[in-house]
């Protein structure tokens, strides 16, 4: 089967899968970038003692 652009149905399906894989890999790259950006931030906040100033609702047994 040939569509209006002259490509076969198999090529169109391949292109669709390629775009899905590309979007998925881009999403994982963004998640990795966010993780790698937030980790040093929390390390610096911990080194300067800022994280200890944040009140956390802990159970009474851990206080």
List the domain boundaries for the chain. 20-49
Answer whether residue 34 shows pLDDT above 90: yes
Answer whether residue 6 shows pLDDT above 80: no
pTM: predicted TM-score of the whole model, two decimal places = 0.57
- State the pLDDT confidence band at 62, using cuts at 50, 70 and 90: low
Give me the DSSP letters along 34-55.
Answer: HHHHHHHHHHHHHHTT-GGGS-
**Burial annotation 27-54 (CB, 10 A radius, 16+ → b, else e):** eeeeeeeeeeeeeeeeeeeeeeeeeeee
């Amino acid at each position: 089967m040939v569509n209006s652009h002259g490509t076969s149905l198999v090529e169109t399906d391949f292109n669709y899968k390629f775009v899905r894989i590309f979007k998925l890999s881009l999403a994982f790259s963004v998640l990795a970038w966010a993780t790698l950006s937030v980790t040093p931030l929390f390390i610096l906040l911990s080194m300067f003692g800022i994280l200890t100033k944040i009140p956390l609702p802990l159970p009474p047994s851990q206080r």
